[in-house]
C-alpha cells in the first residue's frame, strides 16, 4: 500500500565537482526505485539539479535516467512536488508537462495524514549576503531570464557550472553546523512555530547539514535534510512518525 511520504534535497546532479556524475545519478535512480513500493508522495526540496535552463524549444542534455525514474513514479500515481532552489531556478513547463510533477517557487504548508508541514528549500531564510541577494533577484527576474536565454548555451552552460563550482568552494558555512546561536534556520523555525503552533514539522534543505530538533514547546520539529553528496540522506514520513535517514549511496 502506498502511504509513505519522502523528502530529499540538494542532490546537485550535474555538478562539476562530482567525481563520477554517472555513478552519482545512478545512486539517485536506485534510491527512487527503492521507494517505489510504498511512496505516495515525493517532495524534492530544491537544488536537485546543479544547473538547469529550459529554452523555448530545447532542454539541456543529461539526466535521462533520473527523469525516467521520476516519470515511472508519476505514472504509478506518486505525487511529485519539486521546490526550486537557488541552483535549479529555471524550471518552467517542460518537466511538469513531460513528467507530471508540480513545481513550487517559494514555500508551502501542507497537511499529510493529519500532520502539518512547512516546506521550503531555504535559500531565502536568514540574513542574506548582499551579493547573494542581488544574484537571487537577478536570476528570478523575467526580463533577465529572457536576456540570458538569448545567449548561446555553449557559453551559458560552462559559465553556470564554473560559477556553481566557485560558489561551492567559497561557501564554507554550507555543510557545517554553526551552532544554535548562529544557525539561521533555528530562529526562523522558532518564530514560525510561535506564529503557528499547529505546525508539526518544518522541513528545509539548502544548508547541506543533518538536523532534527524541537523548536517549540508544542513539539514542532525542524528537519534539515542534508544532501546527496556527503550524507546521502532523506526523510520518510509513514503517516505517524518522521525519520531523518542517512545512508551510504545506494548502487545497483
**Model confidence over 9-25: pLDDT tens digits?**
999 999 888 899 999 99
Determine, yes or no, domain membership for 83: yes
Grid cell at residue 122: 531555504
**Average pLDDT of 138-164?**
61
Grid cell at residue 61: 542534455
What does the pLDDT look like over 96-137, one tens digit per residue? 999 999 999 999 999 999 999 999 999 878 655 665 555 656
Nearest by Cα to 73 from 110, 101, 109: 101
Specify the pLDDT at position 163. Answer: 58
Specify the pLDDT at position 137. Answer: 62
**Average pLDDT of 168-188?**
73
Determine, yes or no, domain membership for 192: yes
Q: Which range has the worst mean pLDDT, 11-15, 42-46, 144-148, 176-180?
A: 144-148
Specify the pLDDT at position 153. Answer: 67
9 near 227, Cβ under 8 Å? yes
- Mean pLDDT across the chain: 86
Determine, yes or no, domain membership for 251: no
Element holding 167 (H helix, E strand): helix 153-170
Determine, yes or no, domain membership for 65: yes
Prediction pTM value: 0.87
Determine, yes or no, domain membership for 252: no
The residue segments making up the domain with residue 185 are 4-246
Name the pLDDT band for 61 (thresholds 50, 70, 90): confident
Specify the pLDDT at position 57. Answer: 75
Determine, yes or no, domain membership for 144: yes
Residues forming beta bridges with residue 220, ordered by sequence position: none
> What's the domain count of the chain?
1
Cα 17 to Cα 21: distance, rounded to the nearest angstrom: 9
176 near 56, Cβ under 8 Å? no
User: Residue 168 belongs to a domain with what CATH number?
Assistant: 3.60.21.10
Determine, yes or no, domain membership for 229: yes
What does the pLDDT look like over 221-239, one tens digit per residue? 999 999 999 999 999 999 9
pLDDT at 242 over 80: yes
Specify the pLDDT at position 170. Answer: 45
216 near 194, Cβ under 8 Å? yes
Residue whose C-alpha cell reads 534510491 in the numeric block: 31
**Average pLDDT of 179-206?**
94
Amino acid at each position: 500500500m502506498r502511504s509513505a511520504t519522502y523528502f530529499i534535497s540538494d542532490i546537485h546532479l550535474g555538478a562539476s565537482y562530482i567525481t563520477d556524475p554517472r555513478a552519482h545519478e545512478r545512486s539517485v535512480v536506485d534510491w527512487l526505485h527503492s521507494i517505489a513500493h510504498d511512496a505516495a508522495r515525493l517532495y524534492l526540496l530544491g537544488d536537485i539539479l546543479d544547473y538547469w535552463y529550459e529554452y523555448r524549444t530545447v532542454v539541456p542534455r543529461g539526466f535521462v535516467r533520473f527523469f525516467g525514474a521520476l516519470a515511472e513514479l508519476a505514472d504509478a500515481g506518486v505525487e511529485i512536488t519539486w521546490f526550486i532552489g537557488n541552483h535549479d531556478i529555471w524550471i518552467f513547463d517542460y518537466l511538469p508537462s513531460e513528467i507530471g510533477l508540480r513545481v513550487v517557487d517559494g514555500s508551502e504548508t501542507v497537511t499529510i495524514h493529519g500532520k502539518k508541514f512547512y516546506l521550503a528549500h531555504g535559500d531565502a531564510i536568514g540574513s542574506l549576503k548582499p551579493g547573494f541577494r542581488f544574484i537571487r533577484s537577478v536570476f528570478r527576474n523575467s526580463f533577465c531570464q529572457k536576456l540570458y536565454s538569448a545567449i548561446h548555451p555553449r557559453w551559458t552552460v560552462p559559465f553556470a557550472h564554473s560559477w556553481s563550482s566557485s560558489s561551492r568552494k567559497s561557501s564554507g558555512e554550507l555543510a557545517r553546523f554553526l551552532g544554535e546561536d548562529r544557525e539561521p534556520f533555528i530562529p526562523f523555525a522558532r518564530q514560525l512555530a510561535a506564529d503557528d503552533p499547529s505546525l508539526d514539522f518544518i522541513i528545509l534543505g539548502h544548508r547541506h547539514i543533518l538536523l532534527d530538533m524541537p523548536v517549540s514547546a508544542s513539539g514542532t520539529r525542524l528537519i534539515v535534510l542534508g544532501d546527496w553528496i556527503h550524507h546521502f540522506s532523506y526523510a520518510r514520513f509513514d503517516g505517524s512518525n518522521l525519520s531523518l535517514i542517512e545512508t551510504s549511496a545506494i548502487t545497483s
